Chains A and B, each alone.
Chain A
Amino acid sequence: MIKKSILILLSLFFIAFGAIAQEVEMASGLRSEGKIYVVVGVLSIIFIGIVVYLISIDKKVTKLEKKINK
C-alpha cells in the first residue's frame, strides 16, 4: 500500500516537473520563415522617418539661428 502511494506520488511529481520543463512557446515560425525581417524593416523605416523629420527641423532651426544672429 505504502509502496503504491509513493509510486503514485513520484509519478505525480514527474508529471508536474514535466509541465515546467515543457518548451516555452516562442515565435520560431515567424523567424524561420524570415518574416521577422519584415517587422524589423517596418520599424526601422518608421524610426528613420522620424529621424529624417528631426534632422529637417534641426536644419531649419540652424538656419533661423544664423538669420537672427546676423
Chain B
Amino acid sequence: MKGMWWKLLGIVLVLYAIIGGFLMPVPAMPILNETIRNTFFHIPMWFAMMILMTISLVSSIQYLSSGNLQKDAAASEAINVSLLMGFLGLFTGMLWANFTWGTPWTNDVKLNGTAVAILIYVAYIILRGSLQDEHRRAKVSAVYNIFAYVMMMLFINVIPRLSGTDSLHPGNGGNPAFGSYDMDNTMRMVFYPAIIGWTLIGTWILSLKMRINKIENKLLYD
C-alpha cells in the first residue's frame, strides 16, 4: 500500500474515536443527555467535508495556473468525496436534531446555510456534467469552484455567527460550540483525533479515486 503510515494513522484514530467516544466519561447535560457523544461522529463529518473542499479549491487554483487536467480531476473528485461526508453530516444531524429539538429540520440559519452550501456544490457537479469540452469544463468549473468555496464558508461559518436571530445550533447566535460549557478536556481528547481520523479516511478514498482516474486516462490516451 502506498503511503501506508497516514492510512494506518487514519484507521487507528477513527477506531480510537469509536471506542473512546462511547466509553469515555462525558458531561451530563439536560436535553442532550447521552447524545452528546454524537459530537465525536457528526462534527468530524463536517470538518472532513470542509478540509476536502479546501483540497479541491487548491487543486482548482493549481489547474488555473498550470492547465494540468490532472489537477482538474483532483478538484472534482475531492468535491465528490466531500459531498459524501457532507450528506453523512446532514443526515446524522437530522437524526440528532429529531431527538434534541424534536424535529429533523428547523429553519435555523446554520441548517439552511449548510443546505445552501451543499446545493452550491451539487450545482458544481451538474455544471461539470453539462460541459462537453474537457478544457472548457475544467476552466469554467475551476472558476466556479473558487466562488463556491467562498459562498460555502460564508453560509456555514460566517452568516450563522453574524445573524442576530438565535440559532439552536451550538457555535452560532450566542451558542457556544467548542467553549468550556459544551466540551470538557476529556471530550477534546476524542474529538480532535476523530476529526483528523475522518479527514484522513476521506483523503484515502480521494487518493484511490485519483489513482483509478490516472489508470483510466492512461488506458484512454496511450
Chain A interfacial positions (CB closer than 8 Å to B) = 23-27, 36, 39-40, 43-44, 47-48, 51, 54-55, 57-59, 61-62, 64-65, 68
Contacts and interface: CB of A to CB of B under 8 A. Distances in A.
Contacts of A40: 18-19, 22-23
Contacts of A57: 208
Nearest to A36: B22
Closest 6 CB pairs of A and B: A24-B28, A27-B34, A40-B22, A61-B211, A43-B18, A26-B28
B204 A54 contact: yes
Main secondary structure of the interface of B (DSSP, over half): helix
26 contacts: A24-B28, A24-B30, A24-B33, A26-B28, A36-B22, A36-B23, A40-B18, A40-B19, A40-B22, A43-B18, A47-B15, A47-B18, A48-B15, A51-B11, A54-B204, A54-B205, A54-B208, A58-B1, A58-B2, A58-B7, A58-B204, A59-B1, A61-B208, A62-B1, A64-B215, A68-B218
Main secondary structure of the interface of A (DSSP, over half): helix
Contacts, number: 53
A4 B215 CA distance: 86
